[in-house]
Structure 1
Amino acid sequence: MKLPDFEALAIFAKVVEMRSFAAAAAELALSKATVSKAVGRLEARLGARLFNRTSRRLALTDAGKHLSERASRLLADGEAAENEALARSSAPRGRVRLAVPMTFGVRVIAPLLPAFLEKYPEVSVDLHFSDAMVDLIGEGFDAGVRIASLPDSSLVARRLCAMPRHTVASRAYLKAHGTPRHPMHLADHNCLGYAYLSTPGIWRYTNARGEQASVRPSGQLRVNNGEALLPAVIAGTGIADLPDFIVAEAIAEKKVEVILKDWKQVEGAVHLVMPPGGPRPARVEALIEHLADQLARPRRKKPLS
């Protein structure tokens, strides 16, 4: 009796997951022809078509639907077995898929990687930039960096460092429109918004007396990347609430001013989040420890005024 064609089943499962032959080929570092031949080989062996294909759409046949769940489970079990074996390896090796916010990833995480890659030459890092809340489990990431007050979730989280926020505006804007003295005054101003706040559309403040204020500001500009707000703030378009890593330099250079100094937004932090379960591969543990060590160190920057 022939052994099942495990490779073809795994490739089929990846095509189903990625919903594309080309995307599956890229994910597996194979040619599209190799992926197509593997699925064709499986179809010939089973005597049934697994996909209905057009130039724009890929859909499972009934036979494909019946097979896809078992094939996906086979792929997941194989990856888990390999990860467990690698986790026991003394030398980290293999690929780590890490999802990071766009600007923080470019400015902070990416510069930390050359030293890591030099230390672990058999490890590679697939760095995915997005400010959106990436589905780590569904999209197959080993870990992700998130900057927020994390909601309850099934993910395992490790706090790496604090990340203060500052409500800022340019002198020109404040001269033309006045300076808010209380968070509720923001309702009368052009406030520039960020789409991926942990509390969408709401800025939450507290002061030293423990008083709280929640405001839902509005304005002319809303973006899905915080750094994109900074030019508009500097130009005097409006007020924005931005994390320290984006706005600290502009504050130090007096391009913008911190307002509402007696009030602070609920301080978020930089967290590394990971899917539950274990053990984690040695390559993932090594990257986690490297980032934790580097981000725990104070970063040199100009003092805020």
Structure 2
Amino acid sequence: MDVFRQMQAFTAVVQAGSFVKAAQRLDTSKAVVSRLVLELEAALGTRLLNRTTRRLSLTDAGSDYFERSRQILEDLEDANAAVSDGASHISGRLKLNAPLTFGNLHLAPLWGEFLKLHPQVELDITLTDRVVDLVDEGYDMAVRISTQPSSSLVSRTLAHDRVVLCASPGYLRTAPPIHSLEDITEHSVMAYSWWSGGDVWTFEDAQGKAHSVATHPRLRANSGDTCRAAALADQGVIYQPAFLVGDDLRNGRLVQVLPELRGPAIAIHAIYPSRKHLPGKVRAMVDFLVEAFKTPAWRR
């Protein structure tokens, strides 16, 4: 029980961003939360959080432990909710939002199977890369792609991916050589408008050191498909997730540029507003997607 409380306190601190907010979330005192996290670090024999007077940050060990402990706590919540009253009743309209490209490529092929499994459920699916407000806009749940899950919504990780720097062989044959990240500034770039970093593309090397380059896009689009199409037409360099360009890379239509640098990690999450009285249709969809993405198509 102590380990559970320690994990719960540590996870709440990370998600809330402070010991005070975590204490409020857990309906206890800051002193209790601080003690539980210190006990957890002592039991593990490692520091999980870097603490300063102004901010908290995760250590490498803390980052890994947070992901694992968060998943354990979510699984426990799901197990408890699965046997609650009404949780097994799977019917009604399920309103779901998902990103446009990912929805078409990797979710659309799944809907038929889900409907066969749950004949009393109706799906109402909206695809858009705009971040919708689930509560205000009446969505039961959403699938989102981000570098970190939302702290204000319940999140279940479906899969992990990375952003890849790539271009077509035709473009690379005629363009100046790319030996370093700085060389990208001299190249034609196709940029995704909704990227959280804007026109700054970030990477890390084999030692974990961060690198970045400020790009000057020749084409900017709110669709990854448009960027990919331009790259396939030999128009320049793109910075897109493997779930979009993985097949092109495997078949040689695109080539990874500066493969010694890794693009940022991203994750695909299923999110919904609350665990309390979670409808059976939402639980069924989340469990279905978790199973479907155990081996993502872009890794096969």
Place the TM-score, normalised by the shorter chain, in its bin: 0.5 to 0.7
Distance in 2, matches of 1:217 and 1:151, equals: 26
Contact 1:179 1:259 in 2 (8 A): no
Q: Secondary structure at the match of 2:282?
A: helix
In structure 2, distance between residues paired with 1:107 and 1:87: 36
- Change in CA separation of 1:152 and 1:96 when aligned onto 2, cut-off 3 Å: closer
Structure 2 counterpart of 1:259, one-letter code: V
Segments of structure 2 that go 5 or more residues without pairing to the other structure are 1-83
Alignment of 1:159-198 (within 5 A): 159-198=157-196
* Aligned residue in 2 for 1:116: 114
Question: Are the counterparts in 2 of residues 169 and 258 from structure 1 also a CA contact under 8 Å?
Answer: yes
Residues 1:246 and 1:139: Cα distance change in structure 2 (over 3 Å): same
Of the three residues 225, 234, 237, the one matched with 2:235 is: 237
Please give the per-residue CA displacement for 1:112-135, whole angstroms capped at 9, x wherever unaligned: 111111111111111110011122
1:125 equivalent to 2:151? Answer: no
| CA shift for structure 1 position 297 | 2.5
Residues in 2 aligned to 1:106 and 1:299: alpha-carbon distance in whole angstroms? 13
SS at match of 2:259: coil
Structure 1 residues 300, 162: closer, same or farther in 2, change over 3 A? Answer: closer
The alpha-carbon deviation at position 164 of structure 1 amounts to 2.1
Q: Quote the Cα distance in structure 1 between the aligned partners of 2:139 and 2:115.
A: 18
Gaps of 5+ in 1: 1-85
SS class of match (1:296): coil
Question: Which residue does 2:259 correspond to in 1?
Answer: 261
CA contact (8 A) 2:160 2:266 kept: yes
Match of 1:104 in 2: 102
Task: Tell me, in whole angstroms, the C-alpha distance in 1 between the residues paired with 2:173 and 2:241.
Answer: 24
Map of 1:262-301 to 2, 5 A cutoff? 262-299=260-297
Offset of residue 183 of structure 1: 2.1
The question of whether the paired residues in 2 share the 8 Å contact of 1:98 and 1:142 is answered with yes
Alignment root-mean-square deviation, CA: 1.9
Could you state the TM-score of these two structures normalised by the residue count of structure 2? 0.68
Q: Percent identity?
A: 29
CA distance in 2, matches of 1:95, 1:127: 10
1:216 alignment partner in structure 2? 214
Alignment partner of 1:204 is 2:207: no
Cα distance in structure 2, aligned partners of 1:182 and 1:87:
59
Distance in 1 between residues matched to 2:253 and 2:163, nearest whole Å: 17
Distance in 2 separating the partners of 1:133 and 1:280: 22
Query: Partners in 2 of 1:197 and 1:143 — Cα distance?
Result: 22
- Answer with 1 or 2: which has the greater Rg: 1
Look up the SS of the partner of 1:126 in the other structure: strand
Matched-pair contact (CA < 8 Å) for 1:192–1:229: yes
Q: Which moved more, 1:257-266 or 1:196-205?
A: 196-205
Partner SS for 1:213? strand
Q: Give 2:75's aligned residue.
A: none
- Contact 2:230/2:236 (<8 A) preserved: yes
Could you tell me how far apart the structure 2 residues matched to 1:266 and 1:174 are? 23
Corresponding residue of 1:37:
none
Q: Residue 162 of structure 1 aligns to which amino acid in structure 2?
A: H
How many angstroms apart in 1 are the aligned matches of 2:85 and 2:242? 36
2:149 and 2:269 in contact (8 A); partners too: no
Equivalent residue, structure 2, for 1:137: 135
CA contact (8 A) 1:87 1:282 kept: no
Runs of 4+ that moved beyond 6 A: none
